[in-house]
Structure 1
């Protein structure tokens, strides 16, 4: 008498059942994308691996559920189904042209003006991708105001290994910054050619190793360094950070225009300091007197909104939509985020219990999705050689 364990399907049956199951971000069939791997079949059992394009995939749970539903509905009933979710970051550009061997994706983080939290967002992106399990480097190209070492609590000087520079490591990141080479109060006074030389060394003379993502914190504005980077290596794309007020949005639009003029893909815009969450602050720091003070000043709007929009509301989202740039999310003005950066413990802002974690991780996951989309739309090109 046959039982359920006698049910046998083939690998072809499994792949056929999964045809039409798509990655929601990429809009492509998982089978066609080569994301279904290690299919194993046996009596009463099917096991397979779904290999995502980034460990920071925001829709990992949905993809797993879609795969399971397709298998259960299209294969014979009674099968034991085992799904293993893994990730392998795809890349192109620098890793494949040899500019930075081993680096799959290079992402520049810029802003049209200073004071919008660009370095904090660059470091948060790097730390968030690292928290998801990716191999990440963080390069501080803001040579006039190198704040990355302080934000992540890194110190010391890079060491030399042969003709290469060994990056400093902190919080699980590989780091390079002018801040490691200067005295604390020393000013950087240099012109374009010197900046170009420093960027070349940071990119090509640093032993970055194998990285899924190299995040580059650019100086604010539209000066020499973004131009040098765009001319030096194929960037995966750029992120523009801004705050909601109109004067910041005007400068952010110039940054977007600069990247487009340099033919650097726009991966998205981040609205930093989007709002102040009154109740979150009260829960974290306030007591009865603080609550009375806030309520007495009528900080809540007519609808009872507990968020105070100090710099305006939704400006970056509207600007991103108008300029056809992906919007990566809002990051609120948060005391904990500021304090952890000041203490050199920005990694704590992305850990459990942090009031900033949800917003920052949301930005990180949307950015990782945009990188995967960009790499899919612009596949690797063959390297051509001209022979005499």
Structure 2
């Protein structure tokens, strides 16, 4: 028996949660081959019975196809669950449906119309430009903007069966995986959903979508502090939140409410910083002129209240609106250096704040609501 053939066989086995093969996902540990015995450990993000059974049978079948005489022994472990067991029933527990996504960034606002979706889309593209692997989840179920902003209108995600269970394959735009309610709801259709159905849709985006391994998953939330926000923090561990506001007082007052939601003891999600959108108007023919149509200082005030930082100020320019409507986000327009530099500054600050947050604060966990 050759270990290389065993590894090759196991590379054909897919994790039903992520759609990644076991070898690529680094889930196989301590492989030992002593003919006719083959033993190894599978490191799993969760240990529910169906999940373990599916992987056990799949591994057995793959190896026996190469070596029919093999005695296959599969040990399964969850590191977090093992650590919690050592601390007694009060120890920390985890059941992260996306263990291969390193950071989940929520983009939030207190009210609509402040350009939150514009920030989410361009932030994701700028983080990708910095070298990260990035995905975008448009969780704004009432007004999904990602299909229009990324030129994906009318396209539908495909469904693939993994061990008999349907999984959704995200669409791609500019090399980035994207999921949105707008892919499954007709543009003119009114979305009228109660809390439980909303929660089911959001969980499906995380638990039944084949997201590739990512450094960042940017989640565009609906405005306010409703069911979607609550379901998000209950379903996945959110690394941090980016708050979006405009300089004017009425936007700032609502943004403070969104900030306070993340600071609730039962939620406790760090605020990475604030993006002030529509900070000033700059005409294309007068790029050095700044006209503060909505006042000044709202972003700095919110950053101070949230004890975070002002991640950047995005100007109000015609190219941002045109790019969003045409499916070509402002960041991909390399001729508009002023706007690109503004988005790149935001992305660099977000990446820096995520690194600091991960260095100084405990590992992110899902919120356990009672």
Same fold (TM over 0.5): yes
In the alignment, is residue 263 of structure 1 matched against residue 268 of structure 2?
yes
Q: Secondary structure at the match of 1:307?
A: coil
Instruction: State the 1:185 CA deviation.
Output: 0.8
Q: Secondary structure at the match of 2:234?
A: helix
* Pairing partner for 1:346 from 329, 333, 342: 329
Residues 344-383 of structure 1: CA deviation (Å, up to 9, x unaligned):
100554535443111111011100100000110125499x
Alignment-derived partner of residue 16 in structure 2 = none
Alignment-derived partner of residue 6 in structure 1 = none
Alignment-derived partner of residue 292 in structure 1 = none
Alignment-derived partner of residue 131 in structure 1 = 129
Q: Secondary structure at the match of 1:104?
A: coil
In the alignment, is residue 368 of structure 1 matched against residue 351 of structure 2?
yes
5+ unaligned residues in a row in structure 1: which ranges?
Answer: 1-91, 285-304, 383-388
In the alignment, is residue 169 of structure 1 matched against residue 168 of structure 2?
no
Residues 230-267 of structure 1: CA deviation (Å, up to 9, x unaligned):
11221001111000000000001111001111211101
Once the two structures are overlaid, the 10-residue window that deviates more, 227-236 or 210-219, is: 227-236
In the alignment, is residue 309 of structure 1 matched against residue 292 of structure 2?
yes
Alignment-derived partner of residue 316 in structure 2 = 333
Q: Secondary structure at the match of 1:308?
A: coil
Mapped to 2, the partners of 1:357 and 1:181 lie a distance apart of 31
5+ unaligned residues in a row in structure 2: which ranges?
Answer: 1-79, 81-93, 366-370
Q: Secondary structure at the match of 1:309?
A: coil
Alignment-derived partner of residue 159 in structure 1 = 158
Alignment-derived partner of residue 342 in structure 2 = 359
Alignment-derived partner of residue 147 in structure 1 = 145
Q: How is 1:184-333 mapped onto 2 (pairs within 5 angstroms)?
A: 184-261=187-264, 262-278=267-283, 281-283=284-286, 306-333=289-316
Do 1:349 and 1:355's aligned partners in 2 also have CA atoms closer than 8 Å?
Answer: no
Mapped to 2, the partners of 1:118 and 1:131 lie a distance apart of 20
Instruction: State the 1:183 CA deviation.
Output: 1.6
Q: Secondary structure at the match of 1:215?
A: strand
Distance change >3 Å, CA 306–CA 217, structure 1 → 2: same
Distance change >3 Å, CA 206–CA 381, structure 1 → 2: closer
* Structure 1 consecutive aligned stretches of length 4 or more whose deviation exceeds 6 Å: none
Do 2:117 and 2:220's aligned partners in 1 also have CA atoms closer than 8 Å?
Answer: yes
Once the two structures are overlaid, the 10-residue window that deviates more, 191-200 or 125-134, is: 125-134
Distance change >3 Å, CA 324–CA 345, structure 1 → 2: same
Instruction: State the 1:321 CA deviation.
Output: 1.5
Mapped to 2, the partners of 1:109 and 1:100 lie a distance apart of 18
Alignment-derived partner of residue 44 in structure 2 = none
Residues 301-349 of structure 1: CA deviation (Å, up to 9, x unaligned):
xxxx821100001221123123312210110101111111110100554
Do 1:108 and 1:235's aligned partners in 2 also have CA atoms closer than 8 Å?
Answer: yes
Count of aligned pairs between the two proteins: 266
Alignment-derived partner of residue 66 in structure 1 = none
Q: Secondary structure at the match of 1:200?
A: helix
Mapped to 1, the partners of 2:197 and 2:132 lie a distance apart of 33
Mapped to 1, the partners of 2:190 and 2:305 lie a distance apart of 39
- Radius of gyration: which is bigger? 1
Mapped to 2, the partners of 1:354 and 1:345 lie a distance apart of 15
Residues 130-187 of structure 1: CA deviation (Å, up to 9, x unaligned):
1122111100110110011111112411111112110011111101111011222111
Relative to the length of structure 2, the TM-score reads 0.69
Once the two structures are overlaid, the 10-residue window that deviates more, 136-145 or 180-189, is: 180-189
Do 1:242 and 1:272's aligned partners in 2 also have CA atoms closer than 8 Å?
Answer: yes
Do 2:271 and 2:306's aligned partners in 1 also have CA atoms closer than 8 Å?
Answer: no
Mapped to 1, the partners of 2:130 and 2:200 lie a distance apart of 33
Residues 99-135 of structure 1: CA deviation (Å, up to 9, x unaligned):
2131110000010000000000000111101112211
Alignment-derived partner of residue 182 in structure 1 = 185
Relative to the length of structure 1, the TM-score reads 0.66
Mapped to 2, the partners of 1:381 and 1:352 lie a distance apart of 39
Do 2:135 and 2:178's aligned partners in 1 also have CA atoms closer than 8 Å?
Answer: yes
